[in-house]
Structure 1
């Protein structure tokens, strides 16, 4: 069964056929990936209904539907987030970026530091900050009616007592908090309108509103910069995820708006994927 699933996914050009086969089989059977590998599953050990469910899951993945849509779950740091159509699936890159926000929030000399996640999507950034800095307060801002149910579901599971969810556009969100926020973090849309993502999982399944942002991909960043400047207290921190070739352009936007200590940060592959700045 596992061998067949791997062969189907390999033929379909799926980038990680073995890992995905293990995850899909494990999802149907209630096993971890390691258990799937260790048990060396054979057809006689699985009932007909489970075989059908595994076959359907592998077929969906062979059409390049994301594993996270099929399982309904996306692991993210200490969390397991509910995801599906209408919401951006959080990536490992964001786990790297959010560390800067967590570190900045944890360093605030306040019994209850305040953070804002602008364009929260699944709630990944907001909930990572809230769970890893448990004495903090976090506001998650989302403006997509399709994404909002996923944000709400994850907030209710992981952060109902510490995360406030607000339906608003990041350009004009939360005027009542102007000058009081310690950390603003965001993974905004940053793909130029004319660019086409290479991966079918992104191109066909991630919501366009979470991907594209103007001719140069930086319209949302411009709005984000202005909003963060308004929300942050003096000395407050801004953390932005972005494309690997955008660091210089984003630094110019932030400095022109008045931010200081603007720095780009490279991920483990040596790509500039995060920028931090201070109000």
Structure 2
């Protein structure tokens, strides 16, 4: 029978040769997925079956071709959840957890809050807020016919209500206490990693400067937020001056860094 430790060494070597940043970690995650165990339990497994070894080798081959890890496992971690993801929906990134945590903290002391997650995609922000605040009324707005099935799967069993439609003109509930959004914001000229090519382009790019949709988000938030309500928008690290200009008239405008220290999301108070 194939020895798991040897399989992992070979998998990590192939992933490293393909330019994967954390080849050993990803090899272990793929093996854990194939074996149906937590990654931490791999140390307890000596041998694998031939079909398991073949399944792992196939996943490693596809990952070496830069198919996203999350598409291979079918899930993406986000705070305390494993969200269902796949072709047609944007894969949530760890950086967006910072926006979710800010949103949760911003509702401290607000009873029965109303929250809108615009451009919801997988529902990562909406589900995070719903999990943290069972007393909240949470709406997730998404227009993509491909993303909506993933969104509905992820919000199942929560109090999140899905609103299908384009954020530009769909009717939004009001008044709201918090509006969060991780919109498409990458400028068209920016080269992205190969994995990003598997995300829907409409969820990644937003015009020449990456700012085509953000002014709409700000305008819609201004329509629905109560006085004193809060807005949080993720954006490109080049957008800080533009965000300050677009949020003229709002209070407490603050840009927050991501895990690498780059400007990543801006918050404001209506």
TM-score interval w.r.t. the shorter chain? over 0.9
Deviation at 1:40, TM superposition (A): 6.1
Q: Is 2:55 the partner of 1:64?
A: no
CA distance in 1, matches of 2:138, 2:108: 13
For 1:33, which of 28, 39, 55 is the aligned residue? Answer: 39
C-alpha separation between the residues in 2 aligned to 1:103 and 1:136? 13
Q: How does 1:101-120 map onto structure 2 within 5 Å?
A: 101-108=103-110, 110=111, 112-120=112-120
The 2-side partners of 1:171 and 1:248 are apart by 23
Q: Which of 75, 82, 90 is matched with 2:92 structurally?
A: 90
What secondary structure is seen at the aligned counterpart in 2 of 1:219? coil
**Partner SS state of residue 254, structure 2:** strand
SS of the residue corresponding to residue 165 of structure 1 reads: strand
The alpha-carbon deviation at position 261 of structure 1 amounts to 1.4
TM-score by length of 1: 0.91
Q: Distance in 2 between matches of 1:210 and 1:6?
A: 31
CA contact (8 A) 1:106 1:133 kept: no
Alpha-carbon distance between aligned partners in 2 of 1:267 and 1:194, rounded to the nearest angstrom:
22
1:66–1:201 CA contact under 8 A, matched in 2: yes
CA contact (8 A) 1:94 1:241 kept: yes
Where in structure 2 are the equivalents of 1:250-265 lying within 5 Å? 250-255=243-248, 258-265=249-256
Gaps of 5+ in 1: none
Q: Secondary structure at the match of 2:210?
A: coil
Q: Distance in 2 between matches of 1:131 and 1:56?
A: 35
Counterpart CA distance in 1 for 2:178 and 2:109 is 10
Residue 276 of structure 1 is matched in structure 2 by 267
Q: CA deviation at 1:73?
A: 0.5
Q: Per-residue deviation at 1:219?
A: 1.1
* Correspondence for 1:219 among 212, 221, 231: 212
Question: What's 1:191 paired with?
Answer: 186
- The question of whether the paired residues in 1 share the 8 Å contact of 2:138 and 2:161 is answered with yes
Equivalent in the alignment of 2:16: 10
For the Cα contact (< 8 Å) 1:188–1:242, is it kept in 2?
A: yes
Q: For the aligned residues, what is the CA RMSD?
A: 1.2
- Provide the C-alpha distance between the structure 1 equivalents of 2:121 and 2:259, rounded to a whole number of angstroms: 24
Aligned: 1:200 with 2:197: no
Matched residues, number? 264
Deviation at 1:174, TM superposition (A): 2.7
Deviation at 1:173, TM superposition (A): 2.8
TM-score, structure 2 length as denominator? 0.94
Matched-pair contact (CA < 8 Å) for 1:190–1:243: yes
